[in-house]
Structure 1
């Protein structure tokens, strides 16, 4: 099978398309024929050596989120059959790219996968697992602050995958959502149900104080400056410590795979109660180009590779 591996730490040029051994399904596993794999900033960070939890041994295959069909079933598997449509998240923080999703086939534990409704196409499904789970789990950290219904949450990066899901889930949770949009992307963010949309260039300190910040960019201190005393800031990557003295709680949200949560989030996207978007699809062989586009920024939606 064809796959994409990183052979060194560096820019997109370190990604190589190569022939890899066909995977076999072990006990409790299935082999997924990958129809779509999402390209995340985390994939780019893995190749540049900036991923949390330390460096990754070379060579490795990027790719967290996949969607496709079950091609074969391993011993002891009864919950999935050949031909079933599935979406899932490779827990890359555990596999460290062995396996990764940038491949035509992946041997996956059944606990990584959830059923994919016929109403949701592969490319859209591949944008859900990492982004939506991160958003949901980050909001759960905020909810421990016991803010009353109607409290305002600022979501930075609401044009992006995590931020977009965070804005929608916060609205579902009864919060008043103040969402920061990329320039020219205000209409999309408004369609997510945000109560107020502000531009990327807005002075966030003038918008507060808000009860909590979901810092999906993350911006760090400029976003934290908008939160009220004894509020909460949740960031998706490590940021410098917040200026002390105001009692603000600072949390870091790193993804963990939750099978039941993932199944529910995929169902919501399939039903249209959560929105996602794909900026473009590219062949698997153009993974390096996809990484270049992510680094350049300005995307309206996620890039998806289609093996």
Structure 2
């Protein structure tokens, strides 16, 4: 099979298309023929070595979120069978590229995967697992729900899911949108949409901040004393005198939650969007496009 590996640490130029052995399903695994794999900022971070736990030594394959069809099942893989359409998240924080999703075939633990509803196409499905679970798990750190919340990066994958989920949890949502992308964020239902250029110290104060970008100190300026700030990466500490609780949301795979969120996207309860698709063989060009910025939605690599 063909796959894409990072042959060294560096920019997009380190990604190479190469022939790899076809994987075999071990006990509790299935082999998935990949139809779509999402390009995440985490993939770009992996190739440059800027990831929690330190750099992975090349060669390795990037790729977290995959969608495709089961073509083989190993012993004990009783809940998924050949021909099933599936979507899932490779827990890259554990596999560290062995495997990664940038490949034509992936041997995946069945716990990483859920069945893909017929109403949802492979490309859209591949945008869901990492971002939607991060959004849901981050909001769960803000218990009890309700009150006001500022969501930064609401135009993005995590922020967009967080906006919809926060509304359903009963928050009054102030959502920060990228330049000229306010209309899409309004369509998510946010009570108030603010542009990226706004000084967040003038917003609120709000009881909670989901800093999905993250912006760090700029976003923390909006939270009230005694509130909570959840970020997707570590940020500078907030003055302890303010009594603000800081939490860092690090993804954890939750199959039951994933199935629920995928179902909600399929039924239209949650929204996702795809900016563009590119062939798997153009992964390096895809990374350059993500680095250039300005995408509205996710970039997805397709196979076949």
Alignment of 1:246 with 2:242, yes or no, is yes
Note the C-alpha offset of 1:76: 1.6
Unaligned stretches of 5+ in structure 1? none
Structure 2: how far apart are the matches of 1:298 and 1:63? 21
Alignment of 1:186 with 2:195, yes or no, is no
Note the C-alpha offset of 1:285: 0.7
Alignment of 1:295 with 2:294, yes or no, is no
The alignment covers a number of residue pairs equal to: 303
Note the C-alpha offset of 1:244: 2.7
Structure 2: how far apart are the matches of 1:135 and 1:54? 24
Note the C-alpha offset of 1:90: 0.2
Note the C-alpha offset of 1:195: 0.6
For residues 50-69 of structure 1, the aligned pairs below 5 Å read: 50-69=50-69
Moved beyond 2 Å, runs of 4+? none
Alignment of 1:195 with 2:191, yes or no, is yes
Note the C-alpha offset of 1:53: 2.3
Alignment of 1:223 with 2:219, yes or no, is yes
- Root-mean-square deviation (CA), in Å? 0.7
- Cα offsets for 1:170-215 (capped at 9, x unmatched): 0010000000000011011011111100000011110120000000
2:157 equivalent in structure 1: 161
Alignment of 1:205 with 2:205, yes or no, is no
Note the C-alpha offset of 1:57: 2.1
Note the C-alpha offset of 1:86: 0.2
Structure 2: how far apart are the matches of 1:285 and 1:127? 19
For residues 1-307 of structure 1, the aligned pairs below 5 Å read: 1-143=1-143, 146=144, 149=146, 151-307=147-303
Give the SS at the match of 1:55: coil
Structure 1: how far apart are the matches of 2:238 and 2:275? 34
Structure 2: how far apart are the matches of 1:13 and 1:198? 37
Unaligned stretches of 5+ in structure 2? none
Structure 2: how far apart are the matches of 1:54 and 1:188? 36
Note the C-alpha offset of 1:55: 1.3
Structure 2: how far apart are the matches of 1:293 and 1:251? 31
- Cα offsets for 1:23-60 (capped at 9, x unmatched): 00000000000000000000000011111222112111
Give the SS at the match of 1:275: coil
- Cα offsets for 1:246-288 (capped at 9, x unmatched): 0001110010000000000000000000000000000001111
Structure 1: how far apart are the matches of 2:244 and 2:289? 36
Structure 1: how far apart are the matches of 2:18 and 2:50? 24
Note the C-alpha offset of 1:243: 2.6
Structure 2: how far apart are the matches of 1:2 and 1:93? 23
